[in-house]
Amino acid sequence: MIYKSGIMYCDKDLIYQGMEKKMMNIVTSDSTKKIMKIIGHFASIVFITAFLHWTLVNFYSHNCVDSSWKGIFTNMINLGSPFCQFINYIQFEISKYYVTIWASAGIGLIAYFVGKE
């Protein structure tokens, strides 16, 4: 570091090289790879669950619900349909599972940080 007129100057290249080396050590460490793998698995499960739920809701809406005035009366027939009940039940269970996934992730993070101390 160089001092000129009471102002401190430093070699930016030297600082950047040191920071780059530290960052590369962090990125290439085994613990970082494990954490990224866990995050990737979690993101995949969340995406697949959300996609399945969205698909089933749209399928149910398209095949079991009529949004016209005629639908008020045809809904009485489709409401008791085993096929429509099954689709609605599956999408409801997937939405409950989605909440459980996020709750488990939150509890896992809390346990990780509490256990790390």
Render pLDDT for 21-66 as a digit per residue (tens, 0 to 9).
767 666 677 777 788 888 999 999 999 999 999 999 999 999 888 8
Handedness of CA 14, 19, 22, 25 (dihedral sign): negative
Domain assignments of the chain as residue spans, ordered by start = 30-116
Q: Say whether pLDDT at 6 is over 70.
A: no
Q: What was the pLDDT predicted at 106?
A: 92
Q: Name residue 56's amino acid.
A: L
Render pLDDT for 87-111 as a digit per residue (tens, 0 to 9).
999 999 999 999 999 999 999 889 9
Q: What was the pLDDT predicted at 71?
A: 82
Q: 56's torsion region: left (phi>0), alpha (psi -120 to 50) or beta? A: alpha
